[in-house]
Amino acid sequence: MAGVTLGPSGRLFGTTYAGGDSSCGSYGCGVVFELTPTATSFKERILHVFEAGDDGANPAGSLLLDPKIGLLGTTVFGSPAGYGVIFEINR
């Protein structure tokens, strides 16, 4: 649902709206991922799997990369009130 964010050394950061944990049902609550370039392709690493609790569920916007903080983003659902969250992933 959102594009990827270019980071240092050509790394790409992004989210998937679904996938990961099954807390949100069979489709999952979404993940944050990192793609690191290799000689012939990319190496994928999952940085966070959303679980629909305080961490939110179903990220839908692009990530912001702050060199001092890390990755910042938003989710559509989750949190105690169910209205989504602003999340931070420290690097």
The answer to whether 7 and 45 are in contact (CB under 8 A) is: no
Q: Are 49 and 20 in contact (CB under 8 A)?
A: yes
Question: What are 28-59's pLDDT values in tens digits?
Answer: 999 999 999 999 999 999 999 999 889 999 99
How far does Cα 5 stand from its chain's mean position? 11
Residue 59 φ then ψ, to 5°: -65, 140
pLDDT of 82 above 90? no
User: What's the distance, Cα to Cα, between the start and end of the chain in Å?
Assistant: 23
Predicted pLDDT of residue 91: 67
Beta carbons of 75 and 50 less than 8 angstroms apart: yes
At residue 81, the pLDDT reads: 82
